[in-house]
Structure 1
Amino acid sequence: MTDTFTHFARHALGHVISSCKLTHCIIACLFCLFCLGLSGCGDKTQKKAALPRPVRNVVAPQFSFSTSFTQTGEIRAHDELTLGFRLDGRLLNRKVDVADQVSRGQLLASLESQASENQLSSARADLLSARVAERMSASNLRRMRMLMPAGAIARVQLDNAMSEWQSAASRLQSSENTLKNAQDTLSWTRLVSPADGVITQVSASVGQVVSAGQTVVTLAESGQRDAVFDLSQAQVAALKDSATFSVSLLSEPAVKTLGILRDVSPQADPQTRTWRARVTLENPPAAMVLGASVQGALPAVGQRTLRLPASALTQADGHPGVFVVNPRSLRLERRRVVVERFSLSDIYILSGVTPGEIVVTAGVSKLRDGERVSLGDRAE
């Protein structure tokens, strides 16, 4: 009985020990599988992180003399005259219209002149009367002077004759001035062209009552022509005295000429906040007629520069820099550059980048020197 119990106890104990070993084996296997799973996830994460970052880029262009700015404008006469009458009146006729060619002294318009003609007639009559009175007083003075030495007249009579003659002479001079004024007034009822040119604007119609100085027509003188541009404050700041512009027709860019800055308006237009600049053209082509649309370019003064998008700019050791992509290794190189000037959309580089190199143009703040990248979209 004792032997049987002992044998049974040994057998049960062995079974328990075997079960424990199996459990430990299972736990160990599960732990290994868990570790392998974590290791596999880490590999995927590393592989995912190791993929090169795509970057937007541009191929650096050649160095060139860039332009400070370009602006559209139109051709105007070098001298434009606003013509009007020098007195009030009703417009009797107008002999010209817009685009008419006129010559110096040609009649452009006239006012009703009946009142001025009446004034002229009255002035002529008054002058005739004054001349007769002056002649009579002068004759009387001569007679008195002849009688005075013989004592035939008193001294007071000679003095009175002298006074009458002086008064008549003054009246004669006044009448002559009145006649001259009446003649001028009559001539002012006629508006004539002061120079050869073309009518660019008509501001009054027949039958309209106009005031003295009111614009009736605008005359563009023949001869020199100007290109007129409306410039922003930044563009005005870039101008220098006697700046030279390249001016070309907007419809036909091959037709071009040079122009010299003539003047810039001292005040900005209250509506557009722009300043008007006039550029005098040198030997303008015949195609640059009055009113033609043109484009003016102001060449930058200085060295040749290489233009890149402003978004490519970063810092290299506290100085301006860009990221250049090595075409073989596709790794980034932070390159220090010398910037000549900036604009809202571009930077102009004097040195640091060679034409043909690949420059990153976006996301430069998130990149690091030596990072491996892939070439993404290429900027225009």
Structure 2
Amino acid sequence: MTDFLSDAARQMWRHLFSVHLVVPFVFVLSGVLIMTGCRDNSAAPPPAPPRPVKTVTAPPPGGAASLRLTGEIRAHDEVTLAFRLDGRVVSRTAELGDRVSAGQPLAALENDQTRNQLSSARADLDSARAAERVAALNLHRMRLLMPGGAIARSQLDSAQADWQSAQSRRLSSEAALKNAQDSLSWTRLTAPAAGRITAITVQPGQVVSAGQSVMTLAAGDARDAVFDLTTTERLQIAERTPLRVTLLADPGTEASGTVRDISPQADPQTRTWRLRVTLNQPPEAMAPGATVMVTLPDSQPPVIALPASALTRLADQPALLVVDAASRLQLRPVVLARFDAQQIFVASGIQSGERIVTAGVATLQPGEKVLPAQEEP
């Protein structure tokens, strides 16, 4: 019995000793694993490689591309011809392109009504002249009778008033006759000067209003080249500035010219400014209607031209991303002289030779390290 109790006690102590060793070992092992995992999670990731970017080297400052305009030849002096009366066109003797002389008939209106008005005015004038003669004779008689006391003073005064009234009526009738004659002459459209017909807008049988354009006369042989400016950057061109105008169909055909004028206000329909260049002895090929070109001089200060895709913003200012010597990005505010859909022209803010990012500027950040992988031409 005693041996049995001794064996049981030894087994119990052995069991307790084993549990006492295993449990701490398990806790220690768990802590090691947890600490190892924490060290792995807190380790910093490797740095990202520099992003490749497209760049362009800022060129030396220079003028913007010359502005080339396309226009047409027009007469130096153009006259829009119109009737001064309403009426129906019964004839037109001039055709498009005809050369006409001063005073030559060009078109005519129906004139039956104006002829009747002229006849009535002549009859009224004849009646007024007859009444004036009668009043003058009556006044003469009254003046003869007055000294002898045959008539009263009031009768002489009445005869004097009748004569003056008849005289006024005669003058009014003469003016009415002159108006009727003018109205009849206005039914005929004549050339005010020698020139060429460059436009016709009515046909025989058409009813026109007073002042409505009938045709256009190019007076004389002087010619202008007419262009439309779409921007205001060349509006400061001085008058008399010399220019060279070339024929679009044949660039070898050219003529010298000077700036005649630039319209101070834009056309409300086209939003363009009209530029007229007076040509000096233009060749025959530069006839009215011919298409011509002119290159305007650049009067702006030197600028740096860059692709428009390089433009970004810094607050409310235009800016560019510049790659510095350490290949890091600098967001540089700049001043733009002008811009279009393809290019920007930088007046200040960057230097010639600096590398400018030209693609993906919206996804890049200042201070970011980049790799200029490709340089645009």
Give the residue type in structure 2 aligned to 1:193.
Answer: A
1:12-46 CA-partner distances (Å, limit 9, x unpaired) = xxxxxxxxxxxxxxxxxxxxxxxxxxxxxxxxx99
The 3 A distance-change label for structure 1 pair 295 and 362 is farther
- Where 1:118 maps in the other structure, the secondary structure is helix
1:212-249 CA-partner distances (Å, limit 9, x unpaired) = 23221123444463524163xxx248745858796744
Q: How does 1:198-347 map to 2 (within 5 A)?
A: 198-222=196-220, 223=222, 225=224, 227-229=226-228, 231=230, 235-236=231-232, 239-240=235-236, 248-249=245-246, 251=248, 252=250, 255=254, 257-259=257-259, 261-265=261-265, 268-269=268-269, 274-284=270-280, 286=282, 288-295=286-293, 299=297, 301-313=299-311, 320-323=319-322, 338-344=334-340, 345-347=342-344
Distance, in Å, in 1 between the alignment partners of 2:266 and 2:372 is 53
Give the residue type in structure 1 aligned to 2:360.
Answer: G
Q: C-alpha displacement at 1:95, in angstroms?
A: 1.6
Distance, in Å, in 2 between the alignment partners of 1:150 and 1:74 is 86
Give the residue type in structure 2 aligned to 1:366.
Answer: L
The 3 A distance-change label for structure 1 pair 264 and 291 is farther
Distance, in Å, in 2 between the alignment partners of 1:145 and 1:209 is 58
- Where 2:96 maps in the other structure, the secondary structure is coil
Q: C-alpha displacement at 1:183, in angstroms?
A: 0.6
1:252-295 CA-partner distances (Å, limit 9, x unpaired) = 557364525432446621xxxx3242223143562544333345
Query: Which residue number corresponds to residue 95 of structure 1?
Result: 93
Q: C-alpha displacement at 1:78, in angstroms?
A: 5.0
The 3 A distance-change label for structure 1 pair 275 and 104 is farther
Query: Which residue number corresponds to residue 36 of structure 1?
Result: none
**With structure 2 as the length reference, what TM-score do the two structures score?**
0.68
- Contact 1:315/1:322 (CA < 8 Å) preserved in 2? no
Question: Are 2:78 and 1:66 equivalent residues in the alignment?
Answer: no
Q: Which runs of 4+ in 1 moved over 6 A?
A: none
Q: Which consecutive residues of structure 1, in runs of 5 or more, have no partner in the other structure?
A: 1-44
- Report sequence identity in percent: 44
Question: Are 2:323 and 1:361 equivalent residues in the alignment?
Answer: no
Distance, in Å, in 2 between the alignment partners of 1:221 and 1:55 is 63
- Contact 2:57/2:352 (CA < 8 Å) preserved in 1? no
The 3 A distance-change label for structure 1 pair 163 and 340 is same
**With structure 1 as the length reference, what TM-score do the two structures score?**
0.68
The 3 A distance-change label for structure 1 pair 203 and 128 is same
Distance, in Å, in 1 between the alignment partners of 2:59 and 2:258 is 27
- Contact 1:246/1:297 (CA < 8 Å) preserved in 2? yes
1:290-324 CA-partner distances (Å, limit 9, x unpaired) = 333345666554421121112234689x9844445
Q: C-alpha displacement at 1:100, in angstroms?
A: 2.5
Q: Which consecutive residues of structure 2, in runs of 5 or more, have no partner in the other structure?
A: 1-44
Question: Are 2:184 and 1:186 equivalent residues in the alignment?
Answer: yes
Query: Which residue number corresponds to residue 176 of structure 1?
Result: 174
The 3 A distance-change label for structure 1 pair 363 and 88 is closer
Distance, in Å, in 2 between the alignment partners of 1:200 and 1:282 is 18
- Where 2:263 maps in the other structure, the secondary structure is strand
- Where 1:275 maps in the other structure, the secondary structure is coil
- Where 1:219 maps in the other structure, the secondary structure is strand
- Contact 1:245/1:297 (CA < 8 Å) preserved in 2? no
Query: Which residue number corresponds to residue 28 of structure 1?
Result: none
Query: Which residue number corresponds to residue 6 of structure 1?
Result: none
Q: C-alpha displacement at 1:97, in angstroms?
A: 2.0
Query: Which residue number corresponds to residue 345 of structure 2?
Result: 348
How many residue pairs get aligned? The number is 321
Give the residue type in structure 1 aligned to 2:358.
Answer: T
- Contact 1:65/1:299 (CA < 8 Å) preserved in 2? no
Question: Are 2:144 and 1:146 equivalent residues in the alignment?
Answer: yes
Question: Are 2:130 and 1:136 equivalent residues in the alignment?
Answer: no
- Contact 1:337/1:353 (CA < 8 Å) preserved in 2? no
Give the residue type in structure 1 aligned to 2:268.
Answer: A
- Contact 1:109/1:191 (CA < 8 Å) preserved in 2? yes
Query: Which residue number corresponds to residue 374 of structure 1?
Result: 373
- Contact 1:245/1:298 (CA < 8 Å) preserved in 2? no
The 3 A distance-change label for structure 1 pair 319 and 110 is closer
- Contact 1:226/1:278 (CA < 8 Å) preserved in 2? no
